Amino acid sequence: MGKESFRTIQSLGRDELIDELMEHNALSSDLVVKGYGDDSTVLNHQKGYQLLSSESFMEGVDFDLTYVPLHHLGYKIATAAVSDIYAMNGSPELVLVNLSVPNKISVDMLKEIYRGIGAAGKDYEFQIGGGDLTASHQTLGISISCYGEVAQDKIIYRKGAHEGDAVCVTGDLGGAAAGLRILMREKRFWEEQDQQQAFQPDLTDYEYVVRRQLVPVARKDFIEKIADLNILPTSMIDLTQGLASELQHLAEASEMGVYFYQAALPISLDTRRVADEMKEDVDKYALYGGEDFELMFTLPEEQVEGLADEFSDFTVIGQVTDKEEGIRMQKAEGEVVVFDGSGQQL
Amino acid sequence: MGKESFRTIQSLGRDELIDELMEHNALSSDLVVKGYGDDSTVLNHQKGYQLLSSESFMEGVDFDLTYVPLHHLGYKIATAAVSDIYAMNGSPELVLVNLSVPNKISVDMLKEIYRGIGAAGKDYEFQIGGGDLTASHQTLGISISCYGEVAQDKIIYRKGAHEGDAVCVTGDLGGAAAGLRILMREKRFWEEQDQQQAFQPDLTDYEYVVRRQLVPVARKDFIEKIADLNILPTSMIDLTQGLASELQHLAEASEMGVYFYQAALPISLDTRRVADEMKEDVDKYALYGGEDFELMFTLPEEQVEGLADEFSDFTVIGQVTDKEEGIRMQKAEGEVVVFDGSGQQL
């Protein structure tokens, strides 16, 4: 992008800017009476429970503009917000986007972020409802609040796991952490060069893990599948943080313990290959990595087979136990380790 | 506060921190099925329209920690968010708080912010429903999303003003801008000293305007009064930005013009005194200052007296005209000025 095409935020009026950004809002529905352009977003919703979730991403902490394309950033924060709605077995309906924008960000850069949010809106079927824009001195900040809905008899909380239930996770774990390792390594290489060129690393060999980091996907497919099959997990949570701390959250809310198997953790070959290259323990990626946005859920043992017949992309990693037993992991060699309250291995 | 009492955010687990912060959540209601501690906040709401509003404040842009006490900051951003709900004639029910927190902020400082939000929650009758905490390298950022409700036959949009309606504003204008001028001047004085002492200016003479800046109040009282009187303004908007640009928003949404009188602008003596001291034009504070969080509304002429009999804290500043006439202000000396689309005086 040449300098001549850098349209500053100030060059547009605020309202004109919002109009341009909202071009990426693909959907409309009867739910939304007034999406933006008034003091509040107005919804007309007469049934079930309403769900609200909220995510904040801050430049330099949650993302690095060196290697995060802006439309991916928009897609990813939307994924993070809707993932929390899916984790309650709900459907996202609408997001509000709050941006804190420094001068280095142009109108077209903001539009890239909205393009990503709009693409997520198509995939996850939500509208963009409004939000706020504020200036920032140095760093870009994004918050998304997501509004969703769920029938009262279909909601799934973190609490509700019963002793003996199978503990399951969708997809595979640790990929996002592996992708981040690769991107950080490539950035370090680039910083050691003279940086005359833009950051354009060849990531062909790492495509899977880099995608897991940059454009993670929330598990709408799983929520739709269990609705079709009329299967209702007893508890559910999304894996925003690593498995270890989310296990803690689920067990605590359910007042239960969990016994799980290191060897059962679903980890892709691509993720294993990165850990080998980095000379790191791949289980650490899965246990502490986070940002995979997979779902963890508990299900009575007798229902596992029925689900597996229709949906293959999940793994049983262990079972729910008595609370007194805490969170324990049986290592591949047979040794059992205990996780303490903070999700750290003892 | 001594250094020994600086509890870092890292010294607490995330969950423990949220528990401490949520001690400031004073209310609970049947609406909120699950307030926080799960993936989403769960609401059970069966009637009327739902309203969502969102506000972001960024350190160094929207507030300056030199002179903004943290509990005031919490109160003010909550005021900004609920003001948008009142501007639709709704009642706030719940807020989600997203914080981006640098290392310089301690646990107890965060608790001060929540104390302010909690105090606003008591005044405006909302609960704190959850949100997100993320790290930040340098600057503190706060976003609040507010969820509210309004009966379908009571909602008031920006659109709806009719030709001939009176244009009214609650309270007085420009006070928040005057307060900001004073605080910035005192900070400049302090910076020119050796800064050995904490910033402790004597603001006794400027108490009213400084309060307007630091702890503005959203007009719940007005919303309750018009409900009692069964008066329904034809359009309404809150004065987050200055009067000039909010007039533009209201007129545009209603496809109308507005003719108003400079001499009618309600400006307090304290605000005038600050403008005199600063050798500035006090009308600029009122027209462009913003952050007063007063309400502007339009009402059929024949209903104005009935409202005035029961509620004294509002002023008629002009009337709604045909769209072609635009936004025009008659100056005290009789001259008429036109405002263009960006809210600037021509």
Which two three-digit tokens encode residue B204? 């006794």
Residues A191-204: pLDDT tens digits? 888 667 777 778 88
Question: Does residue A240 register a pLDDT over 80?
Answer: yes
Instruction: State the Cα–Cα distance between residues B86 and B293, nearest whole angstrom.
Output: 10
Question: Does residue A117 register a pLDDT over 80?
Answer: yes
- Using CA of residue B311, residue B316, residue B322, residue B324, what is the dihedral sign? negative
Q: For A46-50, B136-140, B280-284, which range has the lowest pLDDT when averaged over its residues?
A: A46-50
Question: Does residue A324 register a pLDDT over 60?
Answer: yes
**Would you give the distance in Å from CA A249 to the centre of its chain?**
16
Instruction: State the Cα–Cα distance between residues B268 and B209, nearest whole angstrom.
Output: 9
Confidence of residue A4 (pLDDT cuts 50, 70, 90): low
Q: Which CATH class is domain B166-339?
A: alpha beta
Instruction: State the Cα–Cα distance between residues B143 and B4, nearest whole angstrom.
Output: 30
Per the CB < 8 Å rule, is B41 touching A56?
no
ipTM over 0.85: no
The contacts of residue A137 (CB under 8 Å, 6+ apart) are: A102, B58, B60, B61, B139
Question: Does residue B160 register a pLDDT over 80?
Answer: yes
Per the CB < 8 Å rule, is B52 touching A139?
no
CA distance A243 to chain B (A): 15
**8 A C-beta contact, residue B166 and residue B101:** no
Residues A244-260: pLDDT tens digits? 989 998 999 999 999 99
What are residue B260's DSSP bridge partners?
A: B318, B329
CA distance A37 to chain B (A): 8
**8 A C-beta contact, residue B142 and residue B95:** no
For the segment(s) B3-150, the CATH number from 3.50.40.10, 3.40.50.1370, 3.30.1330.10, 3.40.1160.10 is 3.30.1330.10
Report chain A residues whose CB lies below 8 A from the CB of B16.
none
Residues B265-292: pLDDT tens digits? 999 999 999 999 999 999 999 999 999 9
The contacts of residue B344 (CB under 8 Å, 6+ apart) are: B244
End-to-end CA distance of chain A: 51
Of the candidates B13, B38, B99, the beta carbon closest to that of A88 is on: B38
Confidence of residue B175 (pLDDT cuts 50, 70, 90): very high
Residues A258-274: pLDDT tens digits? 999 999 999 999 999 99
Q: Where are the domains of chain B?
A: 3-150, 166-339
Report chain A residues whose CB lies below 8 A from the CB of B80.
none
The contacts of residue B233 (CB under 8 Å, 6+ apart) are: B89, B156, B168, B226, B297, B298, B299
Q: What is the mean pLDDT of residues B184-212?
A: 85
Fold of the domain built from segment(s) A7-150: 60s Ribosomal Protein L30; Chain: A; (3.30.1330)
Sheet of A336-339: strand order equals: A235-238, A295-299, A166-170, A314-321, A257-261, A327-330, A336-339
Q: What is the mean pLDDT of residues B3-15?
A: 68
Report chain A residues whose CB lies below 8 A from the CB of B253.
37-38
Q: Do the first three CATH levels of A7-150 and A166-339 match, i.e. the same topology?
A: no
Q: What is the pLDDT of residue B123?
A: 94
Query: DSSP labels for B94-130?
Result: EEEEEEEE-TT-BHHHHHHHHHHHHHHHHHHT-EEEE
Q: What is the pLDDT of residue B189?
A: 85
Per the CB < 8 Å rule, is A145 touching B51?
no
